[in-house]
Amino acid sequence: MKEVFVFALLVAYLPLNEGQDLTDLETVNGLEETESFRCGVFFSGKNKGDKPRMKIFIIPKRFETSCPAKNPKEYEKYCGDLFNKVKSKITWRTPSKKRSGFNVGDDLCALVKKEAGIRKLPNKRFPRGLEVGFYYNYCSDITWYDTGNRIKTNLCCDTNQRYVDC
């Protein structure tokens, strides 16, 4: 349920290339993990290259590839480019398309409270808030690899699960 909500929230803002259909990204296409790669958004690890802290969403569509992977950097570029489109169109203050009077940051603050029990950001554990990054995995490898691509501003939340500047 969480994944569907956050995916719907973010893809509502996803700019499409000419001829690209948004529903295409939402469609589970039946590709097996042994023949595909996928892209996801996570709360990032402490440093670039670290494993992610918490899943925000994974695009349901898998993208076809040959396994074993010959050049995984292609997937990094593909997912990074896809999420650059998202980053160019939305900010934490972009109005929520799911909840009137709220913004995208508010929606993610509510998610962090519900899924991780974090009531406020920054806090002692996360003194600069939470960084959001983009990841990929491929073939049968369950590891999520960091694209190094980040949202410029960390997520910070007040105790009412409302986004605030960090």
pLDDT of residue 10: 53
Q: Which two tokens stand for residue 65?
A: 């590839």
Q: 65-71: long-range contacts (C-beta < 8 A, 24 or more apart)?
A: 65/35, 65/36, 65/37, 65/138, 65/139, 66/35, 67/34, 67/35, 67/138, 67/139, 67/140, 68/139, 69/37, 69/138, 69/139
The pTM of the full predicted model, rounded to 2 decimals, is 0.83
For residues 102-115, give the mean pLDDT: 95
> What are 14-34's pLDDT values in tens digits?
544 444 555 577 778 889 999
Confidence check: pLDDT of 139 > 50:
yes
Q: Indicate the DSSP class of residue 116.
A: H
Please say whether the beta carbons of 135 and 129 come within 8 A.
no
Q: What is d(CA 131, CA 81) in angstroms, rounded to the nearest whole number? A: 18
**pLDDT band at 13; cut points 50, 70, 90:** very low
Q: Which two tokens stand for residue 116?
A: 């991780």
Biggest CA pair distance of the chain: 47
Q: Indicate the DSSP class of residue 140.
A: T
Q: What is d(CA 37, CA 35) in angstroms, rounded to the nearest whole number? A: 7
